């Protein structure tokens, strides 16, 4: 299994392929890991959570959060604390956690 590393977080080849396919950037992943809610092997940055933090952040971060809001939020699946296995957009209704 091959891995790509960004800022101490490793991404499998599959995760990088899905990021490219789904238009999810490394910065979006980092936001999800920083602000999202952990559920077993997943970190979910839901629409509800994004809306809660939008007014508390600076302008550049707000722009990225708005892109995530447009996607309905994202889910990051981890094999352990530092290896991203896959990522996907939440549905338009979002997942409330």
Among residues 87, 79, 95, 93, which one has the least CA distance to residue 32?
87
Please state the pTM of the whole predicted model.
0.82
Burial 32-52 (b: 16+ CB within 10 A, else e): bbebbeeeeebbbbbbebbee
Residue 95 pLDDT > 50: no
- Mean pLDDT for the chain? 87
The Cα–Cα gap between 79 and 42 comes to 9
Count of all residues that appear for the chain in the document: 97
Domain positions in the chain: 3-89
**Which residue bears the tokens 């933090």?**
53
């Amino acid at each position: 299994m091959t891995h790509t590393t960004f800022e101490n977080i490793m991404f499998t080849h599959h995760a990088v392929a899905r990021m490219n396919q789904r238009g999810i950037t490394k910065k979006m992943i980092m936001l999800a890991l920083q602000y999202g809610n952990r559920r077993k092997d997943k970190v979910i940055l839901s629409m509800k959570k994004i809306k809660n933090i939008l007014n508390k952040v600076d302008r550049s971060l707000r722009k990225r959060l708005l892109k995530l809001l447009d996607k309905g939020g994202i889910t990051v699946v981890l094999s352990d604390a530092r290896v991203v296995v896959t990522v996907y957009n939440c549905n338009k209704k979002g997942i409330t956690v």
